[in-house]
Structure 1
Amino acid sequence: KKLKIMNSNEDKNNQRVVDYDASYGGTVLFKAIEERHWNASLSRIAHTPGDVATWVYRVECSSEKCYRFKILPLHFACRRKPPSIIVSALVAAHVPAVSVKCEGNLPIHEALEFGASVDVIKILLSTHPAGLHETNCKGLLPIEIFNENSNSWEGENKENIKKLLEYGVDDNDLEDSQHRASSRRKSFLLDATQDEEESKDLETTLQEEGWRQGGLVIVVVGASGDLAKKKTYPSLLNLFNDDLLPSGTAIWGYARSGMDIEEFRSKLKPYLENATTYPPSVID
């Protein structure tokens, strides 16, 4: 069955949501986490904290059925074996996420299911100690999830995680974990600075190219169709926002649907809101 696309940035619980398929990967932060681009993730958390609290609707299919679910960036990151600084930054930006269940699972459940590091486990348990006594969607406690997936860790790491799940987080252990996260953060920030310098070099190059002062006509065939609304227009909006369209750009649309420009804008706007995190002023 065809799944209905979200036409609003908020669901019935007043939570900000985006549709993964309709927005080509959810938010920028979600896509960065999915691809394990940790530098980009850290930068996005710092500059666009709203993404951290944004739920993303996804569809997963097995051989028998497909089901739809929504998930927060923190929970999703815990499935990707993230550096501890990423989890620390996500928690700091949206603390309530640590105690929220997505499809019946807390972040600590996801982290143990997918073999996260000792430091990640410490951060999650120190922020939400009660998570030790909460079950996941299968009715398993964290220690039981660990026992099922104990092959994900070896030696000292394995013993340390087991100790954490049996006795909780020790203050000294937490301090060591935070120190390592801080050191790693400095490395990430250094990489981010280098990326910023490369971006400035690219911008200088673009300014020197003549096409920016030229003209461009884009013709969208099937202008009122799903493909255009989900892919073409969000891509054009990204190019516009990044100043990567010539100053003399005109976009023409052809379609069989009969509507005037105001009706067309009204129908297109929800797709652009779902596909991007730009403010209304940019979308308008």
Structure 2
Amino acid sequence: MCPSSDDVGHEGRARRVAKAVAEALDRTEEGWGRLHAMVIAVPTRVVGPDGDTAATQQDVIFSNFTPPDGVELMLMNNINCSAVAEYHYGAAQGRHTFAFMQVGVKIGLGLMLHGQIVQGVNGAAGEISHITFPFAPGIEPVRGGLERYIGTDALMARVQAQWPASAGQLPGNTYDLVRLASEGNRMALALVESHAADIGAVIATCVSVIDPGLVVLGGGYGASPLLQPKVEEVVKRLAFGPSPITPITLVATTTSSRGMPRLRMA
């Protein structure tokens, strides 16, 4: 079960988790046997029982429901779940080491290393939203600044600021922007390509650190095939070694759900 990342704050996610658990339990049938485990994907970092759960606030989700007795419970970051899904069913099949990058309102990275998801000591592996940014003489980096620049909210703010009347109707969201670009609108194409170059620079940074050999691009915006050529061009120019870029092959809204059962089986 995967609560939406659109909920506001941890309390909102807690309510979504409680609702999802109740719906899942209502759908069970007697012939299925007893429930053995639950995997809950959350859009935050997750630590193990010995980690600082107060800092992640991950235990807040239990404020609205109590796991059934005798049922194993696993919390996992939703992007890591998506990476697992692409590993078993999608674009990364046959690749035991790769990176899955999500680009939407938020950004994040799931890293598969030798067939195992890397979570890090503090559950923060792949939290690329906190890569130092901006980074230039006389400019002080801002915590989380990269996500606020690369995320689609900031992209659409730039679109609104730069869109000339001569380019036609202003796109209201990224779906409109991508549609216009695919139809050949020059302004839309220029804005998508510029943003793809920024995404490529971020991926090049990640490739320079983890050398994954393959990067799968996902997310509501990141999965657009229009991004791939420019992203790949920038990564090739800035990073060492070949790291092909490919869009996800699974439906973006279901990748987390597809990966969760595999986490339980691992």
- Please give the range of the TM-score, normalised by the shorter of the 2 chains: under 0.3
Higher-helix-fraction structure: 1
Of structures 1 and 2, the one with the larger relative CO (CA 8 A, separation 6+) is 2
Normalization by structure 2: what TM-score? 0.26
Normalization by structure 1: what TM-score? 0.25
Which structure is larger by alpha-carbon Rg, 1 or 2?
1
